Each structure stands twice: as structure tokens, then as C-alpha cells.
Amino acid sequence: MNSLVPTEKIWRNGAFIRWEDARIHVLSHVVSYASSVFEGIRCYETPRGPAIFRVDRHMRRLIDSARIYRMEVPWTAEQLGDAARELVAVNGLRSCYIRPIVLRGYGPLGVYSGNNPVEVFMACWEWGAYLGEGALAEGIDACVSSWNRLAPNTLPVLSKSSANYMNSQLIKMEAIANGYQEGIALDAMGNVSEGSGENIFVVRDSRILTPPLAASVLEGITRDTVIQLASDLGIPVLETPIPREMLYIADEVFLAGTAAEISPVRSVDRIPVGSGARGPITEKLQREFFAIARGLRADRHGWLTAVEVCENVV
Ligand code: PPE
């Protein structure tokens, strides 16, 4: 599952290099100190060719993530968006996951990173169902993690930095070790925060609730997409602190992220969510989301960026 199949090319600092050549030295700053920020973006196959979903928002967040850590990215969001389109085209992919990474490279060691070069890489590969086959239709079994999400004044969660994913790994490993597919973390106050790699939504009495940004969540782009689509469909959405026990009495729970897309949660801590199957509001949002992403419904919010397919990929 989720195996990494190499493609031809990776973009590095403005040029395409072979997949095998995208290497860094073991003493690069990032290896010891996790000094990198990254993105995850999906490109969907549409009837008019491949299209990247909300690439401008992702590239803006990448630059913002770097800015929080005083890393200067020598590219604009627009230039990185162009690079992403070219990357998909040169690799001849129809649909894929795109991973840009900004890192502190080889140079002096020691915590201070101001004298290490900032390098930008971007790779893509085909990535299927993030939470396993059947997750989108049947839902997943989740637990509340014994690990909290990052407390304010520790690591900034609005920066999608690699360091934050050590916390995500603890949440995910515990969940898998205990027979669940995903862990839901609480924030430092004990309210619901997010999954190890997804934002969370709860449906109760035909309203959708999601934790606010101050609940130590990543400002997810799929989260924003869900909020917009719910509003289009006339379903009220509230960004509000959610107590843990709401997960046990909710009508529906779902996770949202680029990799996970919109995935229903069918049980939390072995307590069935609602009827224990995908709920109607989750399904409605999934249908709308995939129809737009796959170019089957009008792109009314301007979320898709077309990739011009190369005829002769070398
Ligand atoms: N919270 C976390 C902690 C998170 O990692 C993600 C994305 C989200 C929320 C949703 O953000 P967005 O993709 O903008 O809707 N997680 C990415 C990485 C997953 C991974 O395993 O790597 C992703 O979904 O691409």
C-alpha cells in the first residue's frame, strides 16, 4: 500500500534532474534538525487532461511555511505553480501527488541555520487511497490519540514543517499499533484538533462543525474546500471548539486532506459513528468535491490549473 513508484524527473532549484540524482548529504541541516517545510498537492485526471487542484493556495502556504522559519524561498508562488505543471507534464502522468520541499541544506552544523543554503525540490508520483482501499466508501476506524497536537508556543502549526510530523508519526503509529487506521489528536486544552494528516469535521443535527485554527490545526486547503462546498450546498458550517465526547454522539465524522481527500470515519474508539457507515452529508460533499476535481462539474471557484501534456516525453 502507498508504495512509491519512481517517475523520470524531479525538479531541483529550477532544473529537472533524474529521480535517482535527487540526493542530499547526510549532514545537511535538515537531517539533524528537521529544518524543512513541504506541501502535498493532487493532480486529477479530467476529460480535458490533467489538472492540479488549488496549486496557487498550496504554493502560497509553502512560502508562508518557510517565512515563519525565516527561510527565503527564491521563487514566487506563481513560478512554483508553473514548475509543478511542467513536472507533471515531463513525467507524463495523468493524475498524481506533487510534493514540493524547501530545506536547509549542507553547510555549517549546529542549531543556527542562517548560513545553510535553502534548496527547493519538487517530485511527483502516483498516490492512491491514503487511508486504504475502501476508506472513501466505507469509512475508517479511528481512535482518540493519547498524544496531543502541538501546544501553542511550541511549534507553529500554521507552518507545514517536517518537524510537526514527528508528532503526527506518534499519533499514526499508536493508532496502527492498536488496530485503527487513523488517530485523532486533541489540542493542549483537550478539545478536538485534527488527524495525523487530515483536518476533522463533525456533523450534528445537519450542521457541520470543525475546530478553529486556534485548536492547533493546519490551515488545510481541503478544509477550506469543504467549507466552501458546504456553503454552496446550503449546509451551515461552524468553526468552533469541539469537546472530545462530541465524536461519540455525532451523526457523522469525516477527515479532509489532500492525500486523504474526504474520508468518512465510521467509528471512534470502537463506538460507531451514527449508523456506523458513511453518512449522507459526507457523501454529498465527496460527490461534489470529486466532480469538480475531476472536471465533471464546472470549476466555479477556479480551483483547477490545467497541465499541458507533452506529446513526446523523453
Ligand atoms: N492536517 C495535517 C496535520 C496534515 O498533514 C494535512 C495534510 C492536513 C491537515 C490537510 O491539509 P490540506 O492537504 O491542505 O487539505 N497532510 C498532507 C500530508 C500527508 C502525508 O502523509 O504526507 C496531505 O494530505 O497531503
Q: Are residues 272 and 164 in the same domain?
A: yes
The predicted pLDDT at position 129 comes to 87
pTM attached to this predicted model = 0.97
End-to-end CA distance of the chain: 29
Q: Are residues 175 and 113 in the same domain?
A: no
Q: Say how far residue 86 (Cα) sits from the centre of its chain.
A: 21
Residues 241, 215 contacting (CB under 8 angstroms): yes
Is there a domain that residue 164 lies in?
A: yes
Q: Name the residue of 1, 62, 198, 216 to mutate for ligand 1: max ligand atoms within 8 A of Cβ.
A: 198
Q: Are residues 167 and 266 in the same domain?
A: yes
Is there a domain that residue 310 lies in?
A: no
The three grid cell numbers given for residue 138, joined into one nine-digit string = 466505507
Q: Are residues 117 and 15 in the same domain?
A: yes
Expressed in angstroms and rounded, the spacing between residue 311 Cα and the centre of ligand 1 is: 32
Arithmetic mean of pLDDT, 188-198: 98
Is there a domain that residue 312 lies in?
A: no
Torsion angle (degrees, nearest 10) of CA 224, 229, 235, 241:
-10
Which one, of 224, 246, 235, 247, lies nearest residue 303 by Cα? 224
What whole-number distance in Å separates Cα of residue 202 and Cα of residue 254? 7
Arithmetic mean of pLDDT, 92-105: 98
Is there a domain that residue 225 lies in?
A: yes
Is there a domain that residue 309 lies in?
A: no
The three grid cell numbers given for residue 205, joined into one nine-digit string = 443535527
Q: Are residues 121 and 139 in the same domain?
A: no
Give the CATH number of the domain where residue 181 resides: 3.20.10.10
Is there a domain that residue 102 lies in?
A: yes
Residue 165 pLDDT level (bands cut at 50, 70, 90)? very high
Number of domains in the chain: 2
Distances (CA, A) of 7 to 33, 177, 261: 28, 32, 23
Q: Name the closest-CA residue to atom 21, ligand 1.
A: 197
Arithmetic mean of pLDDT, 113-131: 95
Range of the domain at 102: 9-125
Q: Name the closest-CA residue to atom 5, ligand 1.
A: 197
The ligand 1 site (C-beta within 6 Å) comprises 40, 168, 194, 197-199, 218, 220-223, 257-260
pLDDT (tens digit, 9 = 90+) per residue, 231-267? 999 999 999 999 999 999 999 999 999 999 999 999 9
Q: Name the residue of 98, 258, 263, 289 to mutate for ligand 1: max ligand atoms within 8 A of Cβ.
A: 258
Is there a domain that residue 307 lies in?
A: no
String of DSSP letters for 105-146? -SS--SS--TTSPEEEEEEEE----TT-TTHHHH-EEEEE-S
The predicted pLDDT at position 311 comes to 64
Which one, of 289, 255, 253, 290, lies nearest residue 272 by Cα? 253
Q: Name the closest-CA residue to atom 16, ligand 1.
A: 197
The predicted pLDDT at position 132 comes to 87
Expressed in angstroms and rounded, the spacing between residue 258 Cα and the centre of ligand 1 is: 6
- Chain position carrying cell 490519540: 145
Arithmetic mean of pLDDT, 18-45: 98
Q: Are residues 119 and 173 in the same domain?
A: no
3-state DSSP call for residue 224? helix
Arithmetic mean of pLDDT, 278-288: 98
Secondary structure tally for the chain: helices H, strands E: 8, 17
To the query of whether residue 160 is one of the catalytic residues in this protein, the response is: yes
- Chain position carrying cell 462543525: 209
Expressed in angstroms and rounded, the spacing between residue 183 Cα and the centre of ligand 1 is: 14
Give the CATH number of the domain where residue 33 resides: 3.30.470.10
Residue 312 pLDDT level (bands cut at 50, 70, 90)? low
Q: Are residues 159 and 86 in the same domain?
A: no
Q: Are residues 163 and 191 in the same domain?
A: yes
Inform me whether the pLDDT recorded for 314 exceeds 70. no
The predicted pLDDT at position 128 comes to 87
Q: Are residues 271 and 141 in the same domain?
A: yes
- Ligand 1 atom closest to Cα of 168? 3
Is there a domain that residue 292 lies in?
A: no
Q: Name the closest-CA residue to atom 1, ligand 1.
A: 198
